[in-house]
Every structure is written in structure tokens, then in C-alpha cells.
Structure 1
Amino acid sequence: MKLSMISSIAIVAALTAQVAQAETLRLLTWGGYAPQEVIDLFEAETGHTVEVTTSNNEEMIAKLRATNGGGFDLAQPSQDRIASAQEEFGIYKPIDMSRVDADLFIPSMLSATADNTTYEGDVFGVPHVWGTSGLVVNTAVASNVTDYTDLCDASVAGQVSYRLKRPTLIGFAYSMGLDPFAAYDDTDAYQDILDEVEAMLTACKPNVKTYWDGGDEIKNLLRSGEVVASMAWDTGGWQLNADNADITFVAPEAGALGWIDTFVLPARGRADDAAYDWINFVMRPEIAAMITNTAGNFTAAVDGDAGVNADLKARYQGSFDQAAIDNIKWYPPVPAGLEALEGATLDRINAAN
């Protein structure tokens, strides 16, 4: 009887300790990166609760700037938005790599992200989801669109869309034979490139049906046939291909633009334990596959593709042969102040007649 009572007391004490250690994880992330089924499994296993706010790179940085790195416990900006944002605004805190299960990550991606997110000797990010942006084309009517500048061809006049964001500037620059990433450390040279791209995109405005803002918007435009060629993400092209075999993602001749979305700790986050638990949980292969099947992009998890939908794998292989993979232009860290130049260029393009 006494042993039974002691055991019961021990169980209650353990449960009480677990509850005491449970935290609410305030996650600032992209759509699809925290599926409800994954949240449910995580909460059941750890006792933590998860509150999700979906966002994008610009909004993430703006939200964290406004609160000096507060309001969230874990965020997921792209790896090129970390070192410069930390230098300018001090909105993150270093990753404690001893609390990250490195064996769960593809070594090359873990290493590359560490290099690209290091500031003053500290690592500020680890990789999660990666993918590319390029062209999504209705090949039945716009098969000639194989590079970014083809969006300005007369054959697709009035049936084109892209975002007025920095990937459009970068993609067009490469398609014009320029090398914007090589000019990152030379402000004057980079401005010269922006000026050339500005002239091209201003001249291209009559071809543009609309500048899209969200993924659902551009997918609907392509589905309806109002747009036949667009700059967009690979996952959107593959989702459309599932319903219409003529529409698919095309890796541009100048190279798709590659990105890696990361995990970072906001400077004033309160739930570090829950944040590290989430990182290690979602990088397990079986959980990573669940996220890929929802988000449509692959993760940096070792063996994370093992449980991925076979159709998604086939669409990926249809868009990327080895040459296209080798030609991916991976975003390097953005030097401080560069986005202000890009923003001014985009504003002028938008305002031009």
C-alpha cells in the first residue's frame, strides 16, 4: 500500500513538473510550416502549447523591429535576412547549438546556414525549409517563356504577373547577363545594376496584368488563364500542375533563385525551452515529411523526403534536372542598407507610367 502511494505521489510530482515546465511557444512563421497535425503531436508530447502567426520576410522584420525583438519566441526569416537585420536592429539572440540536435540536419545546409547567419562570432540561424523561385508557365500557350526577361516578350503582352519585390529585381538582373550578388559589397555597382533593371521593368509594364502579392492570388490568375506566365515559387507551380498538366514550374535559363527559411530566436523571446523543443521535433524525418506534404517544399532534415508524396517528388524532378540544380543562385546575406536601394527602385517602377 505504501509503495503504491509513493508511486502515485511520484507520478503526480512528475506530471506537476511537466506542467510547470510547459510553455506557450509564440511562433512567427510562413503558411504551411506549422500544420495543425504537427502542432497537435508536439503539444501532446511536450505539454507546450503553440500560437502561430503567419507572415513573410518583410513583415517578420517589421514586427520584431517594432518590439525590439519581443512578442515572439521563434521566427522563420530567410537566411539572407538575419545577419544584416541583427547588425542594424539587434532583434535576435544567438542560437545555443548545444541545444540543437545537429544529427537531424543535412550537414551541408546546417553548415551553410551557420556561415550565412553568423554575426560577431555567433550563429543566429539554423535551416528549416528550402526552395526556389523562378517561372510558373502555362506551357500550352507560353512555351517560349524560359527566362525572366521572356516575361517582357510581345507574345505574352497583358498576360504576365510578378511581384514588385527584390526577387524580381535579382531574377531580371541575372537574365540580363548581370551578377547582382557579386555586386553586393559595392553599393555603386549594385545601384548601376538596379538602374538597368529599373529601365527593363518600366518598359515591361504594359505586359503586366497585375503585380501579385499573395500565393493564392497568382495561382487563381494562372488557373483562370488571365495570366499565362509569372515569376513565382516552385511549390505554387507544382500545386497548379496537379490540376492542370500544362501549368508547371520552369527553372529559368539564368538560374532559379534559391532560398532557405530558418529558425531564429527573437531577442526578447520568453520560451526558449519550447523553441528548442519545436526545432528538434519538426526536424525528425517523419515530421519533416508531414511539413513538406503540407507546404510543398522540402526541408533540411536528414531523410526528410522519405515519406513525401510520390507525385510531389515527380513534379520536382520534372522541373529540375541536374544542370538546373547546379545553376540555382542561392541568396547570400543582404548587406545592411541594400534593401533601401531596392525599395527606392521598386517604388519608382511602381510609380512609372
Structure 2
Amino acid sequence: MKRKVLFLLLAVTSACFLFGCGNGKKAGENGEVKVYNWGDYIDEEVIHMFEQETGIKVVYDMFETNEEMYPVIEAGGTKYDAVCPSDYMIEKMIQNNLLQKINFDNVPNIKNIDKQQLKDSKAFDPDNAYSVPYTYGTLGILYNKTLVNDKVDSWNILWDKKYKDNVLMYNSVRDLFVPALILNGESLNTTDEKTLQKAKQLLIEQKPLVQAYVMDQIKDKMINGEAALAMAYSGEYLAIQEDNPDIEFVVPKEGSNCFIDSWVIPANAENKENAEAWINFLCRPDIAKMNFEYITYSTPNKAAYDEIDDDYKKLEAVFPTKETLSRCEVFKYIGEDADSIYSELWKEIKAN
């Protein structure tokens, strides 16, 4: 839903990690763990540290959307051991028997995860049996305050004709439909075809204003001032603002999507205990803090949060308030038939 482009450095450093560079245990002496994660969604030094401390070699691949990841896991050609999907996709994977339960005796650091995040995870993993929260956040609007003179507090601004060719929208079906459904007063999890047709029409009306439907490219375009407004997930904000201080982020007053990305273990994983060692390592407070400072998505790790600089905690874009989250809705898995409807409507939008 949603992540930054992984720098070439990761590919270079990962190659070094695979061959056990540095001090400590040689990577691979205790087997391997095949990891499938979003692009640029981990501090690469964490991979190095895990390999040194455990002697487990990390084989690391990346995906750009949940919809790209799912068929790879379903096909089972590559047997990944640890994967990081989003809430609704985890629910789908559980229903389709693509995941196996985690042995939490091997993940004692689960104690560091905030109880509220575990409670919220029950929306897609009712018994907290298959997943461990990694990040959470909200969907909102990034805007360049030197290019936008209006108050930005509503999804409606993405339909304002004065910003023609200056709007970026996500090239992701469920994400794209969020503002249209919300502006129509509908649930993000609706499966009613008439309701979705109405949302589709609103997106078709918006299309002449849209510069591009993109994913990871949003970062560079907003940094370089190539667009005034963009749909974006909250974790992108700090990294983008660091390079362009004119960028701000807001969760629209009408509401939005809030998400939880979590680690899971596929049913066909060949290195389950190594996957549990990986998840446990990522739940360690110092490691969770490292990852937060690198990817800047909200951490559900309470012990890590307590050590984070107060300046970060004050940023609504980074750690949304309860009031903001109360206006947001978590994606649910809506079933194969509804998935097909969304996909067909997205094709119609692109064809117009």
C-alpha cells in the first residue's frame, strides 16, 4: 500500500550479508530464512545484525503491493518463510489456508507489542495466532504548501480543477477507491456493486486532473515538486519532508483507511523456526526503534515507542491520535467475487 523505493545500496549490502561479511557468526551456519517484504521497509543494518547474531542467512525479496505478493505466495513456487502483508490480505491468506500458526514460545518478544495493536489485529486475525504487528498508520494526503493555497482538510481537494495535472493517485485498487467511497458516505469494505459503480464514476470524473497513478514514485515526485497533491500513507511523510520541508500531511476530516502490516509465516515455509527467530528479533525494542527511525512508519512496539524522541511522538502524521483513528476504517477481506468487481471497475477507470 504503499512503500518507498529500495535503494540500490540494499542490493549491494544484502549480497555482502549473504556471504557472512563482518564479525560474529557466519551467515548460513544455522540455515536460512527467506523473507518477502515491502520495498525499503527495513533498515538494512538490521538484516546484517540478525545474520551476525543468529548465523541464519537472510534471503530477501521485495514486493510493491499486497496484490502483487498474494499470487506469489499462493503459487508456492518460492517458499518464503516470513512475509509482511497488510491486514485484509492476512485475513484472505488465513481463509485460504496459506498461513500457519506461529509458535509464540519462539517469539517471547511479543510482550513488547502494544496490547491495543494486538486487539486491533483481531479484526483480521481473531485469535492473534497467525500474525505479529510490524507497523501501522493512516492513509491521507501529502501536499506541497508552496503549490497549494487552499486549506487541505478534505478529500474533495483531489477533485479541484485548479490542480489539474498536479494530483497523484495510488495505482492500487483498494487504496484508490478510498476517497471516492468516503466522499459518497460509504464503507471502505462495501461489496455492493451499485455503490462501487458510483465510486467508479467519481474516479472517472477525477481522471482528467490526475497526473499519474503511481506507487513508490510518489516519493520522488513530491520531493522534486512535480506534483501539488498526492494520496500517501503516513509513513512516507517524514522521509519526504526531510528532503522537501514544504511537504505536509493530513488525514481528511471525512475519514480514511488505517492499516496494520504484520509478519506471518506461509503454510509451505521450510524454515519455520528461523522465521520465528526473525520475527522475535524484529520485536526487540532496540531493533524496532532502528526500523522506526529508518522507515518512519508508526511502530506498534511499546517498548521501542517509549525510547523514541518526543518530537516524533508529537507528529500526528507519525503517531495518529485516537480521534484520528476513530475516523478511519480498516480494510477487510471482501471475498473473491467482490475482488473481481473492484478489479473490473479499476480496468474501466484506466480505459476511460
Distance 1:200 1:87, change over 3 A: same
Distance in 1 of aligned mates of 2:103 and 2:179 = 35
Aligned to 1:47: 55
User: Between the two proteins, what is the percent identity of the paired residues?
Assistant: 24
Verify: 1:227 aligned to 2:233, yes or no.
Answer: no
Relative to structure 1, is the Cα distance of residues 92 and 248 closer, same or farther in structure 2, using a 3 angstrom cutoff? same
User: Structure 1 112/236 Cα, relative in aligned 2: closer, same or farther at 3 Å?
Assistant: closer
Give the equivalent residue in structure 2 for 1:346: 346
**Is the CA contact (8 Å cut-off) linking 2:178 and 2:256 kept in structure 1?**
no
2:145 paired residue among 115, 139, 142: 139
Counterpart residue number, 1:6: none
| Aligned 8 A contact 1:149 1:176 in 2 | no
Match of 2:76 among 61, 67, 73: 67
- Paired with 1:192 and 1:144, the residues of 2 have a C-alpha distance of 32
Aligned equivalent of 2:87 = 79
Distance 1:38 1:317, change over 3 A: same
**Distance in 2, Cα, partners of 1:132 & 1:139:** 20
Partner of 1:96: 103
Return the offset for 1:99: 3.1
Q: 1:97 to 1:33 in 2, by over 3 A?
A: same
Partner of 1:126 in structure 2? 132
Secondary structure in 1 matching 2:304: coil
For residues 157-180 of structure 1, the C-alpha deviation after alignment (integer angstroms, 9 at most, x for no partner) is: 221110232112023211222223
Aligned mates of 2:27, 2:295 — CA distance in 1: 31
Cα shift at 1:250: 1.0
Shift in alpha-carbon separation, 1:334–1:263, aligned structure 2, 3 A: farther
Match of 1:105 among 86, 105, 113: 113
Deviation, 1:138, is: 1.3
2:64 matched to 1:58?
A: no
Offset at 1:330?
2.3
Q: Deviations over 1:281-311 (max 9, x none)?
A: 1111111010011111122212222343555
Aligned-residue offset at 1:33: 3.2
Alignment of 1:311-350 (within 5 A): 312-316=312-316, 320=320, 322-350=322-350
RMSD over aligned CA atoms reads 2.5
- 2:103 partner amino acid: D
Q: Distance in 1 between matches of 2:209 and 2:100?
A: 44
2:202 equivalent among 197, 200, 221: 200
User: Number of aligned pairs?
Assistant: 323
User: Deviation at 1:316?
Assistant: 3.7
2:6 corresponds to which residue?
Answer: none
CA drift at 1:117? 2.1
CA deviations 1:191-249 (Å, max 9, x no partner) are 122111111110111111111132xx112222333310111111222222223332111
Contact 1:180 1:193 in 2 (8 A): no
For 1:172, the equivalent position in structure 2 comes to 180
- The CA deviation at 1:317 is 5.9
Matched-pair contact (CA < 8 Å) for 2:188–2:331: no
Corresponding residue number in structure 1 for 2:239: 239
Query: Quick one: distance in 1 between partners of 2:278 and 2:200?
Result: 42
- Structure with bigger gyration radius: 1
Matches of 2:88 and 2:342, distance apart in 1: 15
Q: State the alpha-carbon separation in 1 of the partners of residues 66 and 309 from structure 2.
A: 28
Counterpart Cα distance in 2 of 1:178 and 1:87:
25
Counterparts of 1:256 and 1:227, CA distance in 2: 21
Q: How far apart, in 1, do the equivalents of 2:323 and 2:162 lie?
A: 27
Q: CA deviation at 1:39?
A: 1.4
Contact 1:289–1:306, Cα closer than 8 Å, also in 2: no
User: Judging changes above 3 Å, is the alpha-carbon distance between structure 1 residues 20 and 200 closer, same or farther for their aligned structure 2 residues?
Assistant: closer
User: Contact (CA 8 Å) 2:35, 2:59: kept in 1 or not?
Assistant: yes
Instruction: Write the distance in 1 (CA, Å) between the matches of 2:82 and 2:27.
Output: 21
1:8-64 deviation digits (Å, cap 9, x = unpaired): xxxxxxxxxx99981201000113333221112212221111111111311211211
Q: Any idea what SS the aligned residue of 1:298 has?
A: coil
Q: 2 CA distance for matches of 1:110 and 1:315?
A: 23
Give the counterpart letter for 2:343 in structure 1.
G
Structure 1: gaps spanning 5 or more residues: 1-17
Alignment partners' CA distance in 2, 1:151 and 1:296:
25
Distance in 1 between residues matched to 2:186 and 2:27, nearest whole Å: 56
More helix, by proportion: 1
Q: For 2:256 and 2:145, locate their aligned partners in 1 and report how far apart those are by CA, in whole Å.
A: 18
Distance 1:212 1:317 in 2: 21
Q: Which residue of 2 aligns with 1:152?
A: 159
Distance between the aligned counterparts of 2:27 and 2:143, measured in 1? 51
Note if contact 2:180-2:200 (Cα within 8 Å) is conserved in structure 1.
Answer: no
